[in-house]
Structure 1
Amino acid sequence: MAEGKVRFPGFLRWLARLLPVLGLILLVPSAAQADPEDIRAAARGVVRIVIVEQDGEQIVPVSHGTGFAVGPEMIVTNAHVVAEARADDNLSIGIVPSDGTTAVYARMVAVSPRNDLALLATTQPMRLPPLTISGNPATESGNVTAVGYPMNVDRAQGLSSADIFRAQPPVKSTGTLAGRRPTREFDSLLHTAPIARGSSGGPLLDDCGRVIGVNSFGAESGGADAEFFFAVSTRELLPFLRANNVTPQVNGMPCRSIADLELAERERAEQQRQVAQAEAATKEQALARRQAELRREIEFALFDERDNGLALAMTLLICALGAAGLAIHAHHVGLKHNAEIGFGLAAVAVVGAALAWIGRPGFDEIKGRLEERLRTEMAAEEKRGPMVAPTAGNMICSLVPERSRVTGAAEANVPFNWSADGCVNGRTQYGFSNGTWSRVLVPQDEESVSVNTFDPTSKEYRMERYLLDRETMERIRAARAEFQAPACGAGQDASSDYGAMQAGILALLPERPNERLVYSCAKAG
């Protein structure tokens, strides 16, 4: 106990020194994690590549690796994955998708042993979702995900030879980059996302599900040694594809999560609200000043009117007295007719004086006159209106990168012809629901759904894309087949009905899209 009493204060002093350090660690932002939806979407374009031979009626697997789609029927893998098939004409290359369709055969388009790359083309349409390649990938640090079909997982699952010909989702493993490494005469990336035999040829992905490398081999590890793995970098991959007439989807924009964007949008909306409040307060102050100015003007005018009325009444009374005096004099001198005229004039003057006195404006008229002046000025201001270009007509919509999340290839500028009834470019009718104009696009040859919206007030055009599995797409296509889009010019009721029908499809979509493109539109020319 005595020894414990001696050490405990020392421990407290050590802890007191450590607490500031811990506080600093907690203040450092944590690294962004990969969006699971992006990784799942990219994994649907990953395939198992099986080298097979024909044994009578039976197809026997010889070896397998991994590949990924760079086009609906074009696949990248490692050269060493297909080396056996290249050397032996009796061997064939089978492509097993991760989602939906049945396995098909492939032919070799190009092989580059120098940088361990190969390009395959399927012999039958597969409609594979192409992966996007990062045009400006991180090479020194950052989170990465390796996707593939490691054999040790197959063995652990007890998969038979027949099982590998069935569509199965690939294995996803995470790690970090450890830098670029020129290896075996080609440029490669070193990373710690575990791969194994069978993972070769699979993609190495960033947090947005974009390809930054093609997994190739691992470093030999001795017991407790750290494990590192190598991927062929995009510096090798992109020239290889272009040399073989393949134009891949390339995206070089920073990787941002939808959650980050939505947080930024909330902050932006809050800033706009504060600006609107400040503008409203400024307008209210200006209105209060104008009311005070008008009140002073009206009060001065009313005082002048009251003074003029009083002066008129007094003048008329004096005239009445004068006329009465002349009438009395005329009566005394026997001018009866003149006396009658004088008394008549005096009576008229008295009545006029009474009316002038009664007709003076009262102080209670100030409020009414003030309201009338304000209404007149506001009506004139509304008639002048703000100098804003009309929304309808030809516009060019420009991408706003800081508000967008681009995972594929995005157009920087989009021509956009909007009509007041919700028709775009003269051929596409948008639906109107809950104050929003939108069009849901469900293609038959692509496993994705796009939701395009336009706000005529702010001139903001949005394109949101959801990358979905085949089962979800089948449900959405079935729901879309239940109704037809109206033609342009069908009328307000048709666009409202169409908006309500589209809501059924929106209900089937995930909470967040994989891609969001925000455009700001302005009048063309």
Structure 2
Amino acid sequence: MMRLLTLAAALLALFLPAAAQADPADVDAAARGVVRVVIIGTDGQEVFPVSHGTGFAVAPKKIVTNAHVVREALQDDTLRIGIVPSEGGEAAAYARPVAVSPSNDLALVEITGELRLPPLTVAAGPVRDGEVSAVGYPMNVDRAQGLDMRDIFQSQPPVKSRGFISGQRPSRLFDTILHTAPIARGNSGGPLLDGCGRVIGVNSFGTDSDGSDGEFYFAVSTRELLPFLQANDVEPRVTELPCRSLDDLNEAERARVEHEQAEARQQLAARTAEAREERQRVEDEARESVQTDRENAMALAFLLTLIATGAAFAAWQARQEGEGGERKLMIAGTICAIAAIAALALWFTRPGLEEINRRVAAVANEGGDTPDAPGASATGDGMLVCTLDLSRSRIVGAPDRELEFSWREDGCVNGRTQYGFSGGTWSRVFVPDEEDTVSVNQFDPATGTFRNDRYLLGRSAMTEARTARDAYTPPKCGAPEAASNVADLQSGVTGLLPAAPNERLVYSCEAKR
């Protein structure tokens, strides 16, 4: 019985979907927009921290945190709200409160200085069971590191902890997510992230424990967060698509390619068999036609031979008649000569066996060009419309569902951007100044596939990428050997990138009508 139960459990495990695993690279990317929210006081001579919590960017200058994190600053005009980014070494920037909602423990503040942060993406779909990560600045970690309250003014990476979703339930009159990712004082206001680094909640409080009970923690759900942001004119990056690992995507892509190749082989085999049958049919028809023509020619030659023989006999009789038969002799002789010549011509020009091959070739030539192999297509030059293929994409943010661009066979896009060509692939690397993201675009004109791999890098990594980008000037469209030169030049940037992107967007393109 136990063996049967074990076997059943093993079979069930094969068919149940695996729990989503948090990707450290995606959590690190999201952590770029996580900040320490510090309540700052002053004694008239110097500033000092009173308390702190965590917050995260929903817009370049808008930060979400808990209402209880900023409560003291709202009650005391002498206190200010400071924002300390996770990296970059900037001094704390100040922020002003925009909105506070104590009923669901949410607050929105706006940075008043020059500091700008990469916004996190909010997952608006249903919360799925699986691994989650809490990101923030727990005070007990600060104490363990020997940091005092003044040290928190320095940029430091946030602490990440992992756990699992335990449920979604209303608590304290607002909707919360119950989870097991450890948080402590100081984590309040920090994001709870899914496996793709997208916000599924705002950490708020934990359960009381006497040391023997299991620890559980509560995060304000996005059902509370999104209406709160909308009410305050903030449009965050939102996605309703499920989280998908890059390994799963790569495996699915391999399976798709193998399936297409197997299908192409089957179609090619079917086409080959069909062509073989068609050729055999044509050969049979040609052989039958040649044989018929040959037999007809031989029969007609035989008939003409009989006519020539009869005419020759008539001419012989006319010659026996003497002078009275000269006219008959001439007529009969002429008929005999013509029939004999025609019979000989038909006999020697009757179709031979080699005529079969000539007729088969003539029929094949009438069929025109061979169709393209299965699955092959070409977009050609001109304006293209590209649609996001969700089944082939790994989506972390909120990408465009449709793109348009013009393509030239020399790799020129929109008449101004030259793509590089190397290893059979057209590609171009983009390192923007205004966003901490490196994009590697690839386009395959034969299949109409456009791919955008996005690397969400930290500030130091982006600084290196921008330095590598500034070290070269890509050639313009139409310059001699422009495609190969771009491929060589941009390798300095691609060599700095991680092994795998955070986001992969695959588009299917076709000519714009």
For this structure pair, what is the TM-score category when the shorter chain's length is used for normalisation?
A: 0.7 to 0.9
Q: Distance in 2 between matches of 1:442 and 1:269?
A: 31
1:77 paired to 2:65: yes
Q: Does 1:457 align with 2:479?
A: no
Q: Quote the Cα distance in structure 2 between the aligned partners of 1:179 and 1:393.
A: 51
Using the TM superposition, give the Cα deviation of residue 334 of structure 1 relative to its aligned residue in structure 2, in angstroms.
7.6
**Deviation, structure 1 residue 248:** 0.9
1:132/1:211 contact within 8 Å kept: yes
Counterpart in the other structure of 1:378? 368
1:246 paired residue number: 234
Partner residue of 1:260?
Answer: 248
Count residues with an aligned counterpart.
Answer: 506
Q: Displacement, 1:375? A: 2.8
* Contact 2:138–2:159, Cα closer than 8 Å, also in 1: yes
- 432-441 or 14-23, which moves further after superposition? 14-23
Which residue, out of 107, 117, 120, partners 1:131? 120
**Which amino acid is the alignment partner of residue 111 of structure 2?**
T
Are residue 413 (structure 1) and residue 402 (structure 2) matched? yes
Pair 25,345 (structure 1): closer, same or farther in 2 beyond 3 Å = closer
Equivalence for 2:428: 439
Cross-structure match for 1:10: none
SS of structure 2 residue aligned to 1:296: helix
1:359 aligns with one of 332, 343, 349: 349
Q: Distance in 1 between matches of 2:13 and 2:509?
A: 42
Partner residue, 2:393: 404
Alpha-carbon distance, 1:341 to partner: 11
- The one-letter code matched in structure 2 to 1:82 is V
Which residue number in structure 2 is paired with residue 68 of structure 1?
56
Report 1:460-471 matches (<5 A).
Answer: 460-471=449-460
Q: Does the CA contact (< 8 Å) of 1:101 and 1:126 recur in 2?
A: no
Please report the RMSD computed on the Cα atoms of aligned residues, expressed in angstroms: 3.4
Offset of 1:106 from its aligned partner?
Answer: 1.6
Q: Which amino acid is 1:84 matched to? A: E
Q: Where in structure 2 are the equivalents of 1:463-502 lying within 5 Å?
A: 463-488=452-477, 490=478, 493-502=481-490
Alignment match, 2:159:
171
**Residue 210 of structure 1: how far off its partner (Å):** 0.8
Shift of 1:155: 1.8
User: Does structure 1 residue 112 correspond to structure 2 residue 101?
Assistant: yes
User: What does residue 369 of structure 1 align with?
Assistant: 359
* Cα distance between partner residues in 2 of 1:143 and 1:431: 40
For the 8 Å contact 1:421–1:491, the answer to whether it is kept is no
- Distance of 2:115 and 2:149 partners within structure 1: 22
Match in the other structure for 2:38: 50
Indicate whether 1:220 and 2:208 are aligned.
Answer: yes
CA contact 2:418–2:486 (8 Å) conserved in 1: no
How far apart are 1:500 and its partner, in Å?
4.1
- Change beyond 3 A, Cα 1:20–1:305: closer
User: 1:298 is matched with which residue: 270, 279, 286?
Assistant: 286
Q: Secondary structure at the match of 1:79?
A: coil
- Aligned to 1:80, what secondary structure does the other structure show? coil
Q: Provide the rounded CA distance (Å) in 2 between the counterparts of 1:494 and 1:93.
A: 52
Deviation at 1:319, TM superposition (A): 5.5
SS in 2 for 1:297: helix
The DSSP-based 3-state class of the residue aligned with 1:154 is: helix
Give the structure 2 partner of residue 202 of structure 1: 190
Distance 1:307 1:203, change over 3 A: same
The Cα of 1:146 is off from its aligned counterpart by: 0.5
CA contact (8 A) 1:448 1:466 kept: yes
Q: Does 1:23 align with 2:13?
A: no
Seq. identity, %: 51
Q: Distance in 2 between matches of 1:182 and 1:352?
A: 107
TM-score by length of 2: 0.86
Structure-2 separation of matches of 1:524 and 1:376? 33
The answer as to 2:280 corresponding to 1:278 is no
Conserved 8 A contact 1:92-1:105: no
SS at match of 1:262: helix
Give the alignment partner of residue 191 of structure 1, picking from 179, 185, 191: 179
Gaps in structure 1 of 5+ consecutive residues: 1-13
Shift of 1:101: 4.0
Post-superposition shift, 1:320? 5.5
- The structure-2 alpha-carbon separation of the partners of 1:236 and 1:15, relative to structure 1 and needing over 3 Å to count, comes to closer
Deviations 1:364-386 (A, max 9, x none): 4423432342133234x769xx9
Structure 2 unaligned residues grouped into runs of 5+: none
How far 1:471 moved relative to its partner?
Answer: 2.4
Q: CA deviation at 1:269?
A: 1.9
Deviation at 1:435, TM superposition (A): 3.4
Task: Give, in whole Å, the separation in 2 of the partners of 1:105 and 1:382.
Answer: 65
Q: Deviations over 1:274-302 (max 9, x none)?
A: 32223222222221221122112211221
Contact 1:104–1:123 under 8 Å retained in 2? no
Shift of 1:138: 0.7
1:127 touches 1:445 (CA, 8 Å); kept in 2? no
User: Could you list the per-position Cα deviations for residues 455-491 of structure 1 after superposition, in whole angstroms to 9, with x for gaps in the alignment?
Assistant: 3333333333211122222222222223334445x26
What SS does the aligned partner of 2:68 have?
A: helix
Q: What residue identity is the alignment partner of 2:236?
A: P
Q: Tell me how far apart the structure 2 counterparts of residues 307 and 18 of structure 1 sit (CA, whole Å).
A: 80
Return closer, same or farther for 1:508/1:359 CA change in 2, 3 Å cut-off.
farther
Letter in 2 for 1:310: M
Work out which of the residue numbers 99, 102, 108 in structure 1 matches 2:90.
102
Residue 188 of structure 1 deviates from its aligned partner by 2.1
Superposition deviation, residue 390 in structure 1: 6.2
CA–CA distance in 1 between the matches of 2:3 and 2:412?
A: 67
* Counterpart Cα distance in 2 of 1:184 and 1:108: 27
Question: Matched residue of 1:521: which SS?
Answer: strand
Deviations 1:105-145 (A, max 9, x none): 22222233332222222233233111111112417x43221
Question: 1:241 deviation in Å?
Answer: 2.0
- The 3 A distance-change label for structure 1 pair 405 and 160 is same
Query: Taking structure 1 as reference, are residues 492 and 295 closer, same or farther at Cα in structure 2, changes over 3 Å only?
Result: farther
Alpha carbons of 1:263 and 1:341: their partners in 2 closer, same or farther (altered >3 Å)? same
Aligned partner of 1:510: which letter?
Answer: P
Q: Counterpart of 1:458 in structure 2: which amino acid?
A: T
Structure 2 distance, partners of 1:350, 1:481, is 93
d(CA) in 2 for partners of 1:448 and 1:402?
A: 23
Partner of 1:8: none
Distance 1:171 1:389, change over 3 A: closer
SS of the counterpart of 1:99? coil
In 2, Cα distance between the equivalents of 1:293 and 1:519? 44
Q: Distance in 2 between matches of 1:389 and 1:438?
A: 17
